[in-house]
Amino acid sequence: MFDKLKERFTGTLEVAEAHCDGPCGVYDPAQARIEAESVLAMTKKILDLKVPEGDDAKAHAAYHNTLTRFIVIKEERAELAKHHLMVLWTDYFKPDHLAKYPDLHETFWKAAKLCSSCKQEVSLQHAEELMDAVKKVHEMFWGSKGKDVAWYTAS
Amino acid sequence: MENELPDATWKERLLYFLGRRQAFLIEGSSMKPTLSEGDAILIVPRSQIEINDIVLAHHPYKESVKILKRVSQINDNGSYILLGDNESESTDSRTFGPILPKEILGKAVCRLK
């Protein structure tokens, strides 16, 4: 009884959660888009990197250091892109979304595969296809919420 | 609208003060538009549950969490299929499966203003 009176007068009520697993409203394909953009940027940088001419040890060390950093970033970002796509696929999207987007599973499956390809290869084509796939996810996601959110990129 | 919860009457408030109802604060938006974050509701513990009732239940995998969802279906074995009214932003029986009767804590009867 005392607890009830305290509740009533202090407003400290117990919580009933009406959540989705991620706190509601935090899903956003922008996370996958930012990582995919990084993958594309790193792929371009690796392809543009020039092997130093001659036997200058310092120049070769600098080249390998830079190349390694680009590769590491590409690897990490591709994995993060895959993670964010998987969260959207498995946590946000529900079976009833399939009615509106019959190719939902195919889209996510291909996008996840492209993340792996971008790690294994230095492929501008696959990095650009990953961006296209993330754009399609963006359109499905916001379409499922009935919102018209324009696609944009940071770079 | 049949999905709406009525506002608490003086009788429900009295029952709350007498400990026959429990008050809960809503967090999250999975029960929109029926209930929004910050709404307060009264629960009748151990009530007869029917389809379309809004119920409070233990989360099947998170011991300390209590969830509020609507009964969509009652299975032959007595378990409940619970769904959020805002299905696109709800984790419910579509994800964690049916809820056993022993996990149901009560039924929402009205909202506190």
Cβ–Cβ of A18/B41 closer than 8 Å? no
- Nearest Cα of chain A lies from the Cα of B100 at a distance, in angstroms, of 18
The pLDDT tens digits of the residues spanning B6-38 come to: 999 999 999 998 989 999 999 888 899 999 988
- Nearest Cα of chain A lies from the Cα of B34 at a distance, in angstroms, of 11
Shortest CA distance from B31: residue in chain A: A18
What is the residue-wise DSSP string for A113-138? HHHHHHHH---HHHHHHHHHHHHHHH
The pLDDT tens digits of the residues spanning A21-53 come to: 655 556 889 999 999 999 999 999 999 999 999
Cβ–Cβ of B30/A25 closer than 8 Å? no
Nearest to B61 by CA among B26, B92, B96, B93: B96
Residue A4 is nearest to which of B19, B27, B88, comparing CB atoms? B19
Q: Kindly provide the ipTM of the predicted complex, given to two decimals.
A: 0.83
- Nearest Cα of chain B lies from the Cα of A92 at a distance, in angstroms, of 7
Cβ–Cβ contact B65 with A under 8 A: yes
Kindly report the average pLDDT of chain A as a whole number.
Answer: 89
**Are A77 and A39 a contacting pair, CB within 8 Å?**
yes
DSSP H helices in B1-113 = 10-17, 93-96
Name the region of B3 (left: φ>0; alpha: ψ -120 to 50; beta: rest): alpha
**Are B83 and B90 a contacting pair, CB within 8 Å?**
yes
Cβ–Cβ of B28/A24 closer than 8 Å? yes
Q: What is the pLDDT of residue A36?
A: 98
pLDDT at B44 over 70: yes
Cβ–Cβ contact B22 with A under 8 A: yes
pTM of the predicted model as reported, rounded to 2 decimal places: 0.58
Cβ–Cβ contact B14 with A under 8 A: no
Bridge pairing between strands B40-45 and B54-58? unpaired
How many residues in total does chain A contain? 155
Which residues does chain A have with pLDDT short of 70? Answer: 1-11, 20-26
The pLDDT tens digits of the residues spanning B89-98 come to: 788 888 788 9
Residue A20 CA to residue B86 CA, distance in Å, equals 10
Residue A66 CA to residue A49 CA, distance in Å, equals 9
Cβ–Cβ of A18/B30 closer than 8 Å? yes
Residue A106 CA to residue A95 CA, distance in Å, equals 14
